[in-house]
Amino acid sequence: MSKFYNAKRKKNLYDPESEIPFKISRSKIDLFLNCPRCFYLDRRLGVGQPPGYPFSLNSAVDKLLKKEFDSHRAKETAHPLMKKYGLDLVPYPNEKMEEWRDALGGGVQYHDKETNLIITGAIDDVWVNPKKELHIVDYKATSKDGEVNLDSDWQIGYKRQMEVYQWIFRKNDFKVSDTGYFVYCNGDADKEAFDAKLEFDVKIIPYEGDDVWVSETIKDLHRCLISDEIPKASSECDFCAYRQAASDVEEKLLV
């Protein structure tokens, strides 16, 4: 991992004196909410958390789902899953879909003039109902016993993700439904044999989003960025706990 991890970054740092709009991704908003200190170290000082390993299988599922829904988008027809769940929806036909999906290119964006921050996010899909309301859609893949759901505490990140996307689309003057959907693929590990293939149960989970928190969080995040003081360590942050423990041990050895 060290071959790819730049422990002290010099680019993409926030400069309080700069008038150039600064991009903040949806994932960095989540980082701020989880630990303002880690967020400040990353965006202001260039010391980011070590990245996790990529989940190639999840990426493959994501790619195949996009191909499936895109085939129906081109024909403006409902996907069989939509019919199965009784959803009067079709994949939203829009020429910017690939742009909105491109995380490296910035995805869908909104420039918040008050903070001079550009909030960005890369969506998986958008569906539309007969009233021309958009429904934000996110694909997820896992392999677990039992039914997939959104009940675990750690899945708060999924819900925030959905709500940030809803907020960005609304700020871009789209009519967006509070109801978003997770297309959740659960790998079936109970088959008698692998037979060189993994089968998935695919479930659509509706989620009623509430993006009321987003605007105030962006203001809080901006106040954090412009401050010259590093926020206190979060009591629930594993990275802060590790840094503190390592520092304590090193200090004792140097005495």
Residue corresponding to tokens 């958009």: 134
Phi then psi for residue 145, to 5 deg, are -75, 145
Q: What are the structure tokens assigned to 123, written together? A: 């969506």
- pLDDT of residue 100 exceeding 60, the answer is yes
Per-residue model confidence as pLDDT tens digits over 114-132: 999 999 999 999 999 999 9
Say which CATH topology domain 22-230 has: Lambda Exonuclease; Chain A (3.90.320)
Q: For the chain, give every domain's residue range.
A: 22-230
Per-residue model confidence as pLDDT tens digits over 178-199: 999 999 998 877 676 666 677 7
The enclosing H or E element of 24 equals strand 22-25
What percent of the chain stands above pLDDT 90? 73
Residue 37: count other Cβ atoms within 10 Å of its Cβ.
18
